[in-house]
A and B are shown apart, each in its own frame.
Chain A
């Protein structure tokens, strides 16, 4: 089966660091994506991990452990505009092209 788990909600303080975890069990794995989605808007691509380890991109970093079926997104120096839903998505095998299986997202609220 396909299963992706993320916490439903998190709260953090402006300027702080927050880690959003994602665990997955999927029938195939080609890579893992993180997307940011503001309320009423489309998801926007944040990061992609295919190998184990940490990928850093400015204030955002993403980590992957394939053996543990685990990833996290790390947000540093939080800003109010980071309040959004963060979606973890696993790229599985889909025939001619691979498909993304999305988690339900973690709603992050950044407080002053």
Chain B
């Protein structure tokens, strides 16, 4: 148990569906991250939030919409996804957003399949 909880663990959705991924951290951290991990590709950083403010958006398509209502919760809203968006989505947190100084704690991930 890393202190970072992601739900759901598995999600299958059609291209016209709207769904949300949820991440919650119980570590008192100030920074939270969304990563995408596709087979045989490096982990891709999608978004970074620090104290509920988005500080990084790595050219992610608008069909992915993050939300950080407070420093403990992070959501990733999904709509009109494409089959190539099928991947493992990982949430992480760290003490603050200067990631190079901090250890990141990861959730177990959401395995997303887009049909």
Q: Do A and B bind each other?
A: no
| B positions within 8 Å CB-CB of A | none
Chain A residues near B (Cβ < 8 Å):
none
